[in-house]
Amino acid sequence: MSAPRDCIACGLCQGRQNVVCPDGDPDSPVAFVGEAPGQKEDETGRPFQGRSGKVLDKLLEEEGVPRPSIYITNTVKCRPPGNRVPTKEEMAACLPHLEEELQGRRLIVALGRTAARDLLRREVRLSEELNRVIKVTIRGNEIDMVVTYHPAASFYNTRVKDALRETIRIARTYLEDRGSASSTGT
Ligand code: URA
Protein backbone atom coordinates (compact mmCIF):
# COMPACT_ATOMS: atom_id res chain seq x y z
CA MET A 1 0.00 0.00 0.00
CA SER A 2 1.55 3.28 -1.06
CA ALA A 3 0.96 6.59 0.69
CA PRO A 4 -2.74 7.45 0.88
CA ARG A 5 -3.81 10.32 -1.38
CA ASP A 6 -4.66 12.42 1.68
CA CYS A 7 -1.38 11.63 3.50
CA ILE A 8 -0.23 14.31 5.98
CA ALA A 9 2.69 12.41 7.50
CA CYS A 10 5.20 15.18 6.68
CA GLY A 11 5.32 18.81 5.60
CA LEU A 12 5.55 17.93 1.89
CA CYS A 13 1.77 17.56 1.91
CA GLN A 14 1.47 21.34 2.13
CA GLY A 15 2.80 22.18 -1.33
CA ARG A 16 1.74 19.18 -3.37
CA GLN A 17 -0.95 18.90 -6.03
CA ASN A 18 -0.94 15.10 -6.01
CA VAL A 19 0.53 12.22 -4.06
CA VAL A 20 2.65 10.43 -6.65
CA CYS A 21 1.76 6.76 -6.42
CA PRO A 22 3.90 3.94 -7.84
CA ASP A 23 3.53 2.93 -11.45
CA GLY A 24 4.05 -0.22 -13.52
CA ASP A 25 3.51 -3.88 -12.71
CA PRO A 26 2.53 -4.18 -9.03
CA ASP A 27 3.80 -7.80 -9.07
CA SER A 28 7.07 -7.13 -10.88
CA PRO A 29 10.17 -8.77 -9.36
CA VAL A 30 12.06 -5.55 -10.15
CA ALA A 31 11.44 -2.16 -8.51
CA PHE A 32 13.13 1.07 -9.58
CA VAL A 33 13.28 3.67 -6.80
CA GLY A 34 13.83 7.33 -7.66
CA GLU A 35 14.41 10.31 -5.40
CA ALA A 36 11.26 12.42 -5.39
CA PRO A 37 8.55 13.65 -7.73
CA GLY A 38 9.21 16.80 -9.75
CA GLN A 39 6.77 19.23 -11.32
CA LYS A 40 5.32 16.95 -14.02
CA GLU A 41 4.94 14.10 -11.55
CA ASP A 42 3.20 16.42 -9.08
CA GLU A 43 0.81 17.53 -11.84
CA THR A 44 0.01 14.03 -13.09
CA GLY A 45 0.34 11.94 -9.92
CA ARG A 46 2.62 9.49 -11.76
CA PRO A 47 6.37 8.93 -11.28
CA PHE A 48 8.99 9.71 -13.92
CA GLN A 49 6.88 11.74 -16.35
CA GLY A 50 9.24 14.67 -16.92
CA ARG A 51 12.68 14.92 -18.49
CA SER A 52 14.24 12.20 -16.30
CA GLY A 53 11.33 9.94 -17.14
CA LYS A 54 11.85 10.45 -20.87
CA VAL A 55 15.50 9.41 -20.51
CA LEU A 56 14.53 6.38 -18.43
CA ASP A 57 11.78 5.37 -20.89
CA LYS A 58 14.17 5.60 -23.85
CA LEU A 59 16.89 3.56 -22.19
CA LEU A 60 14.38 0.91 -21.07
CA GLU A 61 13.02 0.68 -24.59
CA GLU A 62 16.48 0.47 -26.16
CA GLU A 63 17.41 -2.35 -23.77
CA GLY A 64 14.21 -4.27 -24.45
CA VAL A 65 12.58 -3.76 -21.06
CA PRO A 66 8.97 -2.55 -21.36
CA ARG A 67 8.31 0.11 -18.72
CA PRO A 68 5.04 -1.58 -17.69
CA SER A 69 7.03 -4.72 -16.78
CA ILE A 70 8.82 -2.99 -13.89
CA TYR A 71 7.55 -1.26 -10.76
CA ILE A 72 8.55 2.40 -10.37
CA THR A 73 8.37 4.44 -7.19
CA ASN A 74 10.21 7.13 -5.20
CA THR A 75 11.65 7.57 -1.72
CA VAL A 76 9.00 10.22 -1.05
CA LYS A 77 5.65 10.46 -2.77
CA CYS A 78 5.20 14.24 -2.69
CA ARG A 79 7.22 16.89 -4.49
CA PRO A 80 9.73 18.78 -2.36
CA PRO A 81 9.47 22.55 -2.91
CA GLY A 82 11.76 23.74 -5.69
CA ASN A 83 12.75 20.12 -6.35
CA ARG A 84 15.16 20.13 -3.42
CA VAL A 85 16.48 16.84 -2.07
CA PRO A 86 14.02 15.36 0.46
CA THR A 87 15.16 15.66 4.08
CA LYS A 88 15.94 12.66 6.29
CA GLU A 89 12.73 13.33 8.21
CA GLU A 90 10.62 13.41 5.04
CA MET A 91 12.17 10.16 3.82
CA ALA A 92 11.67 8.56 7.23
CA ALA A 93 7.99 9.56 7.18
CA CYS A 94 7.55 7.88 3.79
CA LEU A 95 9.76 4.82 4.49
CA PRO A 96 6.93 2.58 5.77
CA HIS A 97 5.17 2.98 2.42
CA LEU A 98 8.35 2.33 0.46
CA GLU A 99 9.17 -0.75 2.53
CA GLU A 100 5.67 -2.08 1.98
CA GLU A 101 6.00 -1.51 -1.77
CA LEU A 102 9.29 -3.41 -1.89
CA GLN A 103 8.09 -6.55 -0.13
CA GLY A 104 8.52 -9.61 -2.32
CA ARG A 105 10.71 -7.93 -4.98
CA ARG A 106 13.78 -9.79 -6.19
CA LEU A 107 15.77 -6.73 -7.27
CA ILE A 108 15.68 -3.12 -6.20
CA VAL A 109 17.30 -0.52 -8.45
CA ALA A 110 18.19 2.62 -6.51
CA LEU A 111 18.30 5.50 -8.98
CA GLY A 112 20.81 7.94 -7.51
CA ARG A 113 22.52 8.51 -4.21
CA THR A 114 19.46 9.73 -2.30
CA ALA A 115 17.48 6.55 -2.97
CA ALA A 116 20.55 4.39 -2.27
CA ARG A 117 21.18 6.12 1.07
CA ASP A 118 17.54 5.89 2.10
CA LEU A 119 17.45 2.14 1.47
CA LEU A 120 20.92 1.23 2.75
CA ARG A 121 20.85 3.70 5.68
CA ARG A 122 24.47 4.65 5.09
CA GLU A 123 26.55 6.87 2.87
CA VAL A 124 26.98 5.58 -0.66
CA ARG A 125 29.67 6.33 -3.21
CA LEU A 126 28.11 5.60 -6.55
CA SER A 127 31.46 5.38 -8.30
CA GLU A 128 32.49 2.54 -5.96
CA GLU A 129 29.25 0.58 -5.79
CA LEU A 130 27.83 1.22 -9.23
CA ASN A 131 25.98 -1.76 -10.71
CA ARG A 132 27.28 -4.24 -8.13
CA VAL A 133 24.62 -6.55 -6.77
CA ILE A 134 24.50 -5.97 -3.01
CA LYS A 135 22.05 -7.15 -0.36
CA VAL A 136 19.62 -4.91 1.46
CA THR A 137 17.49 -6.08 4.37
CA ILE A 138 13.95 -4.78 4.30
CA ARG A 139 11.65 -5.82 7.15
CA GLY A 140 13.85 -8.82 7.80
CA ASN A 141 13.99 -9.99 4.18
CA GLU A 142 17.21 -9.87 2.14
CA ILE A 143 16.71 -8.48 -1.34
CA ASP A 144 19.26 -7.92 -4.11
CA MET A 145 19.89 -4.31 -4.93
CA VAL A 146 21.95 -2.31 -7.40
CA VAL A 147 22.76 1.33 -7.04
CA THR A 148 23.14 3.44 -10.13
CA TYR A 149 22.97 7.02 -11.34
CA HIS A 150 19.80 9.02 -11.37
CA PRO A 151 18.62 9.50 -14.99
CA ALA A 152 18.93 13.28 -14.51
CA ALA A 153 22.70 12.82 -14.18
CA SER A 154 22.79 11.60 -17.78
CA PHE A 155 21.58 14.84 -19.36
CA TYR A 156 25.10 15.94 -20.17
CA ASN A 157 27.07 12.76 -19.65
CA THR A 158 26.99 9.79 -22.00
CA ARG A 159 29.04 7.62 -19.62
CA VAL A 160 26.20 7.90 -17.13
CA LYS A 161 23.82 6.69 -19.84
CA ASP A 162 26.08 3.70 -20.46
CA ALA A 163 26.06 2.89 -16.74
CA LEU A 164 22.25 3.11 -16.71
CA ARG A 165 22.09 0.77 -19.72
CA GLU A 166 24.18 -1.73 -17.78
CA THR A 167 21.80 -1.37 -14.81
CA ILE A 168 18.82 -2.08 -17.05
CA ARG A 169 20.55 -5.17 -18.45
CA ILE A 170 20.98 -6.45 -14.88
CA ALA A 171 17.29 -5.76 -14.22
CA ARG A 172 16.41 -7.62 -17.42
CA THR A 173 18.03 -10.82 -16.13
CA TYR A 174 15.74 -10.75 -13.07
CA LEU A 175 12.70 -10.22 -15.30
CA GLU A 176 13.80 -13.04 -17.60
CA ASP A 177 14.29 -15.35 -14.63
CA ARG A 178 10.68 -14.79 -13.70
CA GLY A 179 9.69 -15.72 -17.28
CA SER A 180 11.53 -19.03 -17.15
CA ALA A 181 10.26 -19.77 -13.62
CA SER A 182 6.65 -19.34 -14.70
CA SER A 183 7.10 -21.31 -17.96
CA THR A 184 8.43 -24.33 -16.03
CA GLY A 185 5.67 -24.00 -13.48
CA THR A 186 8.09 -23.29 -10.61
N1 URA B 1 12.92 12.23 -10.45
C2 URA B 1 12.67 11.27 -9.55
O3 URA B 1 13.54 10.89 -8.78
N4 URA B 1 11.47 10.74 -9.52
C5 URA B 1 10.51 11.09 -10.36
O6 URA B 1 9.41 10.53 -10.28
C7 URA B 1 10.80 12.07 -11.31
C8 URA B 1 12.00 12.64 -11.35
The full set of domain ranges for the chain reads 11-176
Question: Residue 154's pLDDT is what?
Answer: 94
Mutation to probe ligand 1, out of 52, 90, 154 (largest number of atoms < 8 A from CB): 52
Give the mean model confidence (pLDDT) for residues 51-76: 98
Question: Residue 28's pLDDT is what?
Answer: 98
Is the pLDDT reported for residue 183 higher than 60?
no
Ligand 1 nearest-atom number relative to CA 150: 3
Is the pLDDT reported for residue 31 higher than 90?
yes
Ligand 1 nearest-atom number relative to CA 40: 7
CA distance 4 to 109: 24
pLDDT in tens, 145-154: 999 999 999 9
Average pLDDT of the chain to the nearest whole number: 94
Which of the four pLDDT bands, split at 50, 70 and 90, describes residue 181?
low
Question: Which helix (H) or strand (E) covers residue 143, if one does?
Answer: strand 141-148
Which of the four pLDDT bands, split at 50, 70 and 90, describes residue 1?
low
CATH topology of domain 11-176: Uracil-DNA Glycosylase, subunit E (3.40.470)
Q: SS in 3 state form for 27-69? A: CCCEEEEECCCCHHHHHHCCCCCCHHHHHHHHHHHHCCCCHHH
CA distance 40 to 37: 8
In one-letter notation, the amino acid at residue 105 is R
Which of the four pLDDT bands, split at 50, 70 and 90, describes residue 23?
very high
| pTM assigned to the model | 0.95
CA distance 123 to 142: 19
Q: Is the CB of 41 under 6 A from ligand 1?
A: yes
CA distance 32 to 27: 13
- The protein residue whose alpha carbon is closest to atom 7 in ligand 1 is 48
With CA atoms as reference, report the closest residue to 155 among 55, 48, 74: 55
